[in-house]
Structure 1
């Protein structure tokens, strides 16, 4: 069973990242997909719990062999790439997962209201809003794992899991918030 953790909007929180990775490990995740905003909290956000960008970089670098891909968020800068030992500056990436395309981006340029060309059954993943989403619209699967550090809209900190059954949004204690079957 191939499981991938989907993590977004860490914003320098070693606390949030560690909790998400611990839960992902409990779930059997062997890979990690990062949807941006890794180190910096941004000028509009408060400092998240456990704010330590260098420690976040160290944690991610220690697991770089597990990272499938990382895309650049609006708070990620070229200077961040100097600390991170894998590529983080791509605006988007396209993966193949069991005959479907997954378009992964942060969400500050392309987003759920401005989708790229996708076929029914494909997946569009984004972060950026800090709001979890797991729904199907017009045949396209839409997914946002929320934020591990600075959730919005009354949601708890969360991350995502991708496996052969679909996508789930989970809290950092493992409670499932949303499920989206990939049919």
Structure 2
């Protein structure tokens, strides 16, 4: 199993190209929302080209599963051949239960409730632009950070990779693992 996890691309095609180098051999990619639009509170990313990004996503040979973010609107869906699902995505892959929700309107208590109710193995969120890996019982909570508008102090843009042994958050510039959680 090798699964890609991204969030908060915000229309940045150049950051998608960098992320693609790590995602091109995954079996599925979960996107936790804020796909094309940079949002009124965010600066315009250096590689902002939502039209080019939508073309790249539409032609992506790997299945993409997208949850709606707070910056995703009806017009964004018009550009994508892939459904933007809302407010939650639930999926079972290789017997593992995944839930994806952007994270802008969910409390820790609600995440814990959903983890228990759905017996989740992985809960994926975004929104904060800050990567996070932590265990909630047997479930791994993953925030891959942002591919384009990091809010980390060091401004590292990042993605996540899940495989059979661990979950990794990867720096898009260097390829270094910035967070790792063993799951095997």
User: What does residue 89 of structure 2 align with?
Assistant: 93
- Using structure 2 for the length normalisation, give the TM-score: 0.89
Over 3 Å counting, the alpha-carbon distance change for 1:30 and 1:45 in structure 2 is same
1:108 is the counterpart of 2:109: no
Aligned 8 A contact 2:98 2:120 in 1: no
1-side partners of 2:122 and 2:101: how far apart?
A: 11
RMSD over equivalenced CA pairs, Å? 1.8
Structure 2: unaligned runs, 5 residues or longer: none
Give SS of 2:47's match. coil
Show CA shifts across 1:37-91 (max 9, x none). Answer: 010000100011111110110110111x412411100000001111000101421
User: What does residue 147 of structure 1 align with?
Assistant: 146
Aligned 8 A contact 1:34 1:70 in 2: yes
Q: Aligned runs of 1:15-26 on 2, under 5 Å?
A: 15-25=14-24
Aligned 8 A contact 1:71 1:105 in 2: yes
User: What does residue 57 of structure 2 align with?
Assistant: 60
Specify which of 71, 74, 79 is matched with residue 75 of structure 2: 79
User: What does residue 134 of structure 1 align with?
Assistant: 133
- Residue 160 of structure 1 and its aligned partner are, at CA, apart by 0.6
1:48 is the counterpart of 2:49: no
Show CA shifts across 1:76-124 (max 9, x none). Answer: 0001111000101421111224444211111112254531422366221
Give SS of 2:79's match. coil
Give SS of 1:20's match. helix
Give SS of 1:82's match. helix
User: What does residue 160 of structure 2 align with?
Assistant: 160
Over 3 Å counting, the alpha-carbon distance change for 1:11 and 1:140 in structure 2 is same
User: What does residue 26 of structure 2 align with?
Assistant: 29
Give SS of 1:117's match. helix
